[in-house]
Chain A
Amino acid sequence: ETGVTQSPTHLIKTRGQQVTLRCSSQSGHNTVSWYQQALGQGPQFIFQYYREEENGRGNFPPRFSGLQFPNYSSELNVNALELDDSALYLCASSLLYSHTDTQYFGPGTRLTVL
């Protein structure tokens, strides 16, 4: 059983560009959540996907968007990058769409916006 994987590991972009981050869920997990973690802070919830539909969003603007595919892999897209978007982006998958279930995290993608 493979864990959650994310790609790329690191990414450097310039302000105004667009970026796509990818996540492969743990085998059998149908729910994926994305978090942004700024340096020295706890993760902040971006959004969650269940069965290819967005189910809930945190306090992030529409230029943050996502997709979940039939194989439960997922993408996070960020348009019009801003300097403050520099952070570690974490993907987490869980077996069930439920508050009872544990979210398992990938290693993250560190995005630097110059």
Chain B
Amino acid sequence: AQKVTQAQTEISVVEKEDVTLDCVYETRDTTYYLFWYKQPPSGELVFLIRRNSFDEQNEISGRYSWNFQKSTSSFNFTITASQVVDSAVYFCALSEASSGDSNYQLIWGAGTKLIIKP
């Protein structure tokens, strides 16, 4: 069965430190997409990245980088030189090509609350 695990419930670091948020997924599909979303205290889920199962290249966007490793079924997210504005709950999610219910729902992890202290 499909599943997304974010083992870190909460992480607290001091500003300017680097921090990595872990995401491990389970799926029987060979074709799937992985996502990261940010949820600030306001509640809105903000899309950060989408990665398909055939593209294992790491991606960097400014201070954000993502490491996708199929061998370990992981899609980890690193923030370099963290800032207070990065404080939020971060969710990892999975979307599979085949779904028994013919819908394309996202399967979510429980989220990691990231606290950046000044």
**Residue ranges of A at the interface with B (Cβ–Cβ < 8 Å):** 31, 33, 35, 41-45, 47-48, 55-58, 88, 90, 92, 94, 97-108, 110
Contacts and interface: CB of A to CB of B under 8 A. Distances in A.
A41 B50 contact: no
A31 to B, nearest CB: 8
Nearest to A109: B43
Interface residues of B, number: 28
B96 A99 contact: yes
A90 B105 CA distance: 13
A81 B96 CA distance: 32
A98 B96 CA distance: 9
Contacts of B33: 99-100
Given A57-B101, A99-B95, A99-B99, A42 B43 contact: no
B102 interface: yes
B102 A90 contact: no
A55 B99 CA distance: 11
* Secondary structure type dominating chain A contacts: strand
Nearest to A110: B43
Interface string B73-103: 0000000000000000001000111010111
A4 to B, nearest CB: 9
Interface string B27-56: 000011101010000111111001010000
Nearest to B92: A42
Contacts of A44: 108
A11 to B, nearest CB: 14
A43 B45 contact: yes
A3 to B, nearest CB: 9
Nearest to B50: A102
Contacts of B101: 55-57
A106 B108 contact: no
B14 interface: no
Contacts of B7: none
B43 A45 contact: no
